[in-house]
Amino acid sequence: MLGYQPNAMARGMRSGASGLVGCLVSDIASPLYAAVVGTLETTLRERGYTLVLASTQGDAELELKVATQFVERRLEGMVFAPLQESDSRAMAMLRRAGMPVVTLDRWIDDATDCVLIDHRQGVHTATRHLLSLGHRRVAFVTIGGAALRSSQGREQGFRDAFAEFGLRPDEELFCRETSSVDAAFSTTLSLFEGSQPPTAILCLGTRMLGGVLRAIRYSGRSIPADVSVICLGDNDLAKYGEPAMTTVRWNADELGVLAAGLLADRISHSGPERAKKVLMTTELVLRESTAQTDRQGVRAPASAPNRLPQP
């Protein structure tokens, strides 16, 4: 019949398909996920799917509940960034239900499709840059549990770069569980209160950057004259702040396209039988926040107000 257009609802009723695909991440406000979701949604729409987005706010119980609801509402597949890469109850439930899943920057096993970021390579390059500028007291400020592949890769890249220079990082400058802007502020400030404060900071979490920068200003220091900073993820604060931040970045649009394509192929059974793992490279974007130093961190803390400012 001329002018005929297929009715997606009727087609779904006949085939048992909902046309819905889920995306479950820890925090949809995170610049990392926000940058990916837009492309993910557009790409899936082009393939005939509607994206249903939810976040867990770091709560494993909520993660399991939402994943269960996705199954009960007959979503056809899911892009998932689980809180844990091993012993994830939500992931185990999804497997039992036969839900097609592509994990986002998480490696579960060889049987699960995933799109990963090469964090080891990115942090290795960033650390080498700081060491080449003469920095030796480099603070490693990061977020994420030590069990996550991304966290392990970041720390390995950091340590590898020091080893290549015949050096060892100061263990007192590792801050591994900086989970919020306020925590980043207080953690960074405490680093500057030591007898040998850092001359450079690797801020390895997009949401932490504001807290790190605020602590630097509060301590009376300036970037990059007193301390160099490199951040992970190229958000607006990194690009347009004063000074603009040297950044480890990756192509968020490509990440979304790849994850959407893998999932659509898995749902339609048009992809390879074996699960596919895609590793995305990173690049170091040099801006205004790093500079040469001949200091080794011995510096009296600058004068600051007696009261901490309210968060």
**Max Cα separation, the chain?**
82
pLDDT of residue 235: 85
Question: Which tokens in the block code for residue 42?
Answer: 């557009």
Q: What is the pLDDT of residues 36-83, one digit of tens each?
A: 899 999 999 999 999 999 999 889 999 999 999 999 999 999 999 998
pLDDT tens-digit profile of 225-248?
999 999 998 888 899 989 999 999
Query: What are the φ/ψ torsions at residue 196 (nearest 5 degrees)?
Result: -130, 80
Pairwise CA distance, residues 23 & 208, whole Å: 23
Nearest to 133 by CA among 171, 175, 168, 161: 161
Q: Output the average pLDDT for the chain.
A: 86
Residue of higher predicted confidence among 158 and 32: 158
Position 267 scores a pLDDT of 94
> What pLDDT was estimated at residue 304?
38
Tokens standing for 182? 């306020």
DSSP string over 17-53: ---EEEEEES-TTSHHHHHHHHHHHHHHHHTT-EEEE
pLDDT (tens digit, 9 = 90+) per residue, 110-123? 889 999 999 999 99
